[in-house]
Amino acid sequence: MAAHALDHDLQDLAASARAELVREIDASGAWAADPVWREAFEAVPRHLFVPYYYIGVTGGYERRRCDESDPERREQWLRGAYEDAPLATRVHEGELLSSSSQPSLMAQMLAELEVEDGNAVLEIGTGTGYNAALLCHRLGDELVTTVDLDPEITDAARRQLADAGYRPTVVTGDGARGVPERAPFDRIIATCALHAIPHAWLAQCRPGARILAPLATGLIVMRVRDAGHAEGRFLQTPAYFVPLRDGTRSEPELQDLGGLPRRARGDELFRFLLALTRHGLTAYEAYTLWEQERHPERDRFGVTISGDRSWSWLDDPEGPYAWPLS
């Protein structure tokens, strides 16, 4: 049975569960910067994009599916589809390969993208297609392009998008290279973790374009000046996504923290600092800076791309604290 072929009772449940999800996101303040996204989340049915997903259980994952023969288990699948939580959608040998992001985080990212009517948007990391559907609802199919490396993911996303009534351009390819044949773009949003912002994206942006991407367990928002220059700061929000290329979910490789105080080893902001500066500071140097600057929040950090150089920085791109990015 297809994900959208719900009986009457489940159709009612889907509508009420979606309305409750919207209320939760509303209460979180995620789209305070652009409340127009509320309408998109009210309209786009998330359950069409997660015909099955996995939940963590002792010893691995349990699969929930839309075609369960047990009515109670189908209802459990449907309720889970509308929880404000990330949903694992592809798992191989215990490793997470793809997921549907937490809706409130998606809402915040879309609001921070600051789209305007007529903007052409490139999404890096198609996933289930749900985020592309939200963009299509806001902007129209013809202005949305989404790319993913895995043909199985893009094929499934095309079907799910069509079932929901949306037809953006879905491309199978390396997101790090962008989609030059669909350029120029006014906005680029990545839903996969990066180690640096690919220079190729800048060349595919109009001057003044905005890029939002997960980087070093944070969210960087950059303004593009031209094909050779972009700059921006991190939001305060933490962000953990499946990486862009290798298909395994992990934080950026960190150095051995064994010699550092326990409170630093377990601190999320310190681990963000260490991930961001791993090409410029040892763990001890990062710890010294962290203490000296009184545990700086993410929004004090930024990234600059200029010519063939990319670097991260604290407070000032030309200040004393700057580190190369890979």
Indicate which residues carry an active-site annotation.
98
> Which stretches of the chain are DSSP H helices?
8-28, 37-43, 71-81, 103-113, 130-139, 151-164, 199-203, 262-265, 268-276, 283-292
Within 10 A of 238 (CB to CB), how many other CB atoms are there?
16
DSSP reduced 3-state for 244: coil
| Strand 205-215 versus strand 229-234 pairing type | unpaired
> Taking Cα atoms as reference points, which of 209, 236, 239 lies closest to residue 300?
236
Gap between the Cα atoms of 80 and 86, Å rounded: 10
Any idea which residue has 């094909």 for tokens?
227
3-state secondary structure of 201: helix
- Asked if 125 contacts 190 with a C-beta cutoff of 8 angstroms, the reply is yes
Q: What's the count of helices (H) and strands (E) in the chain, helices before strands?
A: 10, 14
Instruction: Say which amino acid occupies 289.
Output: L
The length of the chain, given as a count of residues: 326
Residues with Cβ within 8 Å of 91's Cβ and at least 6 positions away in sequence, in order, are 54, 61, 97
- Backbone phi, then psi, for 16, in 5-degree steps? -70, -35
